[in-house]
C-alpha cells in the first residue's frame, strides 16, 4: 500500500466511538524507519501537553496501543490501534519537507488519541 493509498484509506469516516486512552499508556510504534525517532519524540511531547505520559515499548513487550507510521518525502501518516485491532485514531499531514509532515502527523495523531471534552 502506498502512502497516498494509506492516507485515502484512513480519511474514510469510521463508526468507532472515541475512547479515551489511559493516562499512562504503553505504546508500540512500528514503520517509518527514516523518521520514526522524530515521530516518537513529537508524539510523546504532544501527549505530555495533553496530560498523557506515554511509555514507548519495543517489539515483544506488552503494550496497550500500537501505532503504524508511514512516510515519504512530503507526507506522513499514522494510525493507532488498540490490542484488539480497533482503530482509535488516525492522522495524515503533508508539508514541503519530511520533517514538517512527520511533526504534523504526530501532533494530529496525539490530539485524536486524547479526545477533549467540551462544555456546552
* Ranges of each domain in the chain: 3-113
Report the pLDDT averaged over residues 70-86: 91
Of 9, 11, 16, 4, the residue nearest 87 (C-alpha): 16
Between 9-13, 25-29, 84-88, 93-97, the lowest mean confidence (pLDDT) is in 9-13
Stated pTM of the model: 0.77
The domain 3-113: what is its CATH number? 3.30.160
C-alpha cell at 69: 507510521
* Per-residue model confidence (pLDDT) at position 118: 41
Q: What percent of the chain has pLDDT over 90?
A: 51
How do residues 45-56 score in pLDDT, each as one tens digit?
Answer: 999 998 899 999
- CA torsion sign, 34 to 83 to 117 to 56? negative
Amino acid at each position: 500500500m502506498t502512502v497516498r493509498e494509506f492516507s485515502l484509506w484512513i480519511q474514510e469516516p469510521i463508526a468507532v466511538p472515541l475512547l479515551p486512552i489511559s493516562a499512562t499508556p504503553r505504546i508500540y510504534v512500528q514503520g517509518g524507519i527514516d523518521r520514526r525517532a522524530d515521530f516518537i519524540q513529537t508524539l510523546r511531547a504532544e501527549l505530555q501537553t495533553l496530560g498523557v505520559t506515554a511509555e514507548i515499548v519495543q517489539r515483544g513487550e506488552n503494550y496497550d496501543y500500537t501505532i503504524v507510521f508511514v512516510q515519504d518525502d512530503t507526507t506522513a501518516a499514522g494510525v493507532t490501534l488498540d490490542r484488539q485491532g480497533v482503530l482509535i485514531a488516525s492522522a495524515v499531514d503533508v508539508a514541503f519537507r519530511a520533517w514538517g509532515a512527520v511533526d504534523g502527523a504526530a501532533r494530529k495523531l496525539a490530539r485524536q488519541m486524547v479526545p477533549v471534552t467540551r462544555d456546552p
